[in-house]
Chain A
Amino acid sequence: MKKLLAFIAVIGLGVLIILALDNNYQFPAFGHAYLPSRVSEHYITKGSNVDIIFGQTLNPESGPANIVTSIVVDYRSFDTLGEVTVLFISALGVSLLLGSAVTQKRLELEFKPNFMLRVGSRALFGIIIMTGVYVTLHGHLTPGGGFPGGTMIASAMLLLYLADDQFRAKIKSFKILEGVAGSLYVIIGLIGLIVGTYFLSNFLDNGVVGDLLSSGIIPIVYILIGLKVGSEISGMIDNFLTEEEVK
């Protein structure tokens, strides 16, 4: 009875929200919003008066063909640095809580991986890691980028942990990789400050929109973010799946 009342309340509220949004003059129909009134027009047109054509336009103000990347890693790259720092702090918190013991061993769970899980995970591991690398490398051309790509690489690691209940990754090298990638991001920003005019400015040539090797430092920064996020979340998974060794 209580459940039924709660369900009716949820459905009622959902309908109310949909109706309130549907008949509101401030909430235009889907696909009919006038974009320059919400996002600065400068970011959409990349500051040029002529149209940006995929595969033809040479050296625009901002290189990436994917407009989300051009905002996230070019115009607002400093925000992304902060985002990476937030992820770093949360990984730090997890490792302080769960991974502070000197010797760690794998968590003993009451489930043993069977034959299908072991073989299937080994087969899928390569495909998932290839997808992760692809998404990271093509971050400036297609949807995706460093964050989803890095997380895909980490979920491939999770699959390896699932497939073998004795497996442990070399977590020390992951920590080193994470530190190096994070520092290189800041160093690239500082080079931009020295060579260009501001922190994280794009000091390389932008090239043709749509080429794999284009848009200056953005692919480099996205590869660094992918490495950092991937190794960070792999370390987090290792912390979750290990426990203190009792002697």
Chain B
Amino acid sequence: MTFIDIVMLVVSILLLIIAFLAVSEKKLIKSVIFLSALSMLSVVSFVLMKAPDVALTEAVIGSGLVTSLFVFTLLSIKKEEAK
């Protein structure tokens, strides 16, 4: 088993665990943060699988833009509920 194999194994186990946490978490904001961590880890796995194009797009959209849009939507929903 080479070094890359071990890294790949660790990353895939973490992917499974974080995906489970993102689904099972009760608080929505924590779920969004887990989703962001999931995209970041999938970027690592894409780079390990030699797909830099997909990795770049995933890094920008998955962990940057989508997370911030989710967070702002949650904030504005909370504001509506407080009224």
Contacts and interface: CB of A to CB of B under 8 A. Distances in A.
A151 B61 CA distance: 7
B52 A143 contact: yes
* Interface size classification for chain A: 20 to 34
What secondary structure prevails in chain A residues at the interface with B?
Answer: helix
B76 A152 contact: no
Interface stretch (A54-62, A104-112, A177-185, A213-221): A104-112
Contact of A7 (B20, B52, B53, B72): B20
Interface residues of B, number: 22
What secondary structure prevails in chain B residues at the interface with A?
Answer: helix
Contact of A109 (B12, B20, B56, B75): B75
A151 B75 CA distance: 22
B4 to A, nearest CB: 9
Given A151-B60, A158-B68, A11 B16 contact: yes
A147 interface: yes
Interface in B1-20: 12, 16, 19-20
Contact of B64 (A10, A66, A147, A155): A155
A152 B65 CA distance: 9
A240 B67 CA distance: 13
**Nearest 8 A/B pairs, CB to CB:** A143-B52, A143-B53, A151-B60, A14-B16, A148-B56, A10-B20, A68-B53, A148-B57
Interface of B: 12, 16, 19-20, 24, 49, 52-53, 55-57, 60-61, 64-65, 68-69, 72-73, 75-76, 79
29 contacts: A3-B24, A7-B20, A10-B16, A10-B19, A11-B16, A14-B12, A18-B12, A107-B72, A107-B76, A107-B79, A109-B72, A109-B76, A143-B53, A143-B55, A144-B53, A144-B56, A145-B53, A147-B57, A148-B56, A148-B57, A151-B57, A151-B61, A151-B64, A152-B60, A155-B65, A155-B68, A158-B65, A233-B65, A240-B73
